[in-house]
A = this chain, B = another copy of it.
Amino acid sequence: MRHLIDPLDFTLEETTKVLDLADRIAENPEVYSHVADGKKIATLFYEPSTRTRLSFESAMLSLGGKALGFAGAEQSSATKGETVADTARVVSCYADIIAMRHPKEGAPLRASMYATVPVINAGDGGHNHPTQTLIDLMTIRQRKGHLDHLTVGFCGDLKFGRTVHSLVNSLVRHPGNEFYFISPEELKIPDYVVEETLKPNQSFYKEVTSLEETLPKLDVLYMTRVQKERFFNEEDYVRLKDTYILNQEKLNLAQPDMPVLHPLPRVDEIATDVDQDPRAAYFDQVQNGKYIRMALIMALLEVPDPLTGRTVL
């Protein structure tokens, strides 16, 4: 039995197979509409996340299955002191697969050690969010045709943005990718990403502060939220905020086929005038999120793909 806790739990080959299946689902959703008939997903969300929870539930429903679960810790047995290990064992009796979101790092890993059904990490604290990484990869591949030899810019809060760290971890597995990290000093990419990921892979990377100067060089731009509470003082926030907002004017500096990604929700770091630009790929990411989760549920439940007759992992 396989789980998905860390984006790197899948080998490069396995990841490619999941992305391929997600592409096939995107093209022929009706072929897959009954492959998980009678199966149940439990969405155990110890902190709210509409987008992610609904995406998992919609994915299972779109495969013919059903969903049950809870949407916040106050609805869970955690309030009665139950451990994640016990909850995992209990819910394994109710569902065929579990998607767990938890504010504490490592909780889904612990759940996977006790569950008797596959567990998907739907985000644990500032740590991992592997389905988001798969979505990002699918969307980049869809837009650019490949995942290697790309110049990728990451902009905004690169310190706390777990989706950034996970995506870098995955992109270094492909040859020739180069990275620009665009952020204020306060929010720059952590040392451990540099030391543990970029240097060992001999990846080219550069830390810069200007979005406008970097934009023309990029094949892909990955935006993130800059949260006010990350700054030491109001002044710094106000001074820096606009620098890391993407609007149509700045986007005019970019290549005509440079997709703009964002894990959403956004607040104001991408102006709404960008939404109509064909380079805006963040709503594609939402749609792809459903397909990735459908592919993942099929992979972990070992449901054969009707188009190939084979299971994916």
Q: Which residues on A are within 8 Å of B, measured CB to CB?
A: 33, 38, 40, 42, 48-51, 54-55, 57-58, 61-62, 66-72, 74-77, 79-82, 85-87, 89-91, 93-95, 264-267, 272, 283, 286-287, 289-290
Q: Given the interface contacts A58-B68, A68-B58, A265-B82, does A77 sit within 8 Å of B94 by beta carbon?
A: no
- Partner of A68 from the list B54, B75, B77 (CB cut-off 8 Å) is B54
| 12 A/B residue pairs, CB under 8 Å, sorted by A | A40-B58, A48-B76, A49-B77, A50-B87, A51-B77, A51-B90, A57-B68, A58-B93, A71-B75, A72-B74, A77-B265, A81-B267
CB atoms of A70 and B71 under 8 A apart: yes
**Would A266 and B86 be within 8 Å (CB), given that A50-B77, A93-B289, A94-B58 are in contact?**
yes
Q: Which 6 A-B pairs have the closest CB atoms?
A: A82-B265, A58-B94, A81-B267, A71-B75, A93-B287, A50-B77
Also in contact, A93 and B38, with CB within 8 A (given A75-B72, A76-B50): no
Query: For the complex, what is the distance from the CA of A30 to the CA of B266, rounded to whole Å?
Result: 44
Q: How far is the CA of A74 from the CA of B70 in the complex (A)?
A: 13
Residues from chain B with Cβ under 8 Å of A77 in the complex: 48-51, 265
Residues in chain B near residue A40, CB distance under 8 A: 58, 61-62
Return the contact of A94 from the options B54, B66, B265 (Cβ within 8 A): B54
**Most chain B CB within a 10 A radius of its CB, from A62, A90, A266:** A90
For A70, the chain B residues whose CB sits under 8 A away are 48, 50, 54, 71
Closest chain B CB from A128 CB (angstroms): 19
Q: Which of A48, A69, A290 has most B Cβ within 10 Å?
A: A48
Contacts of A79 in B (CB 8 A): 48
Beta-carbon contact of B264 and A90 below 8 Å: yes
Q: State how many angstroms separate the Cβ of A270 from the closest Cβ of chain B.
A: 10
Q: Which residues of B contact A290 (CB under 8 A)?
A: 93-94
Q: A50-B77, A58-B68, A58-B94 are in contact. List 17 more A-B contacts (CB 8 A).
A: A33-B38, A48-B75, A48-B79, A50-B76, A54-B91, A55-B94, A57-B68, A61-B68, A71-B71, A82-B265, A82-B267, A90-B264, A90-B286, A93-B286, A93-B287, A93-B289, A94-B290
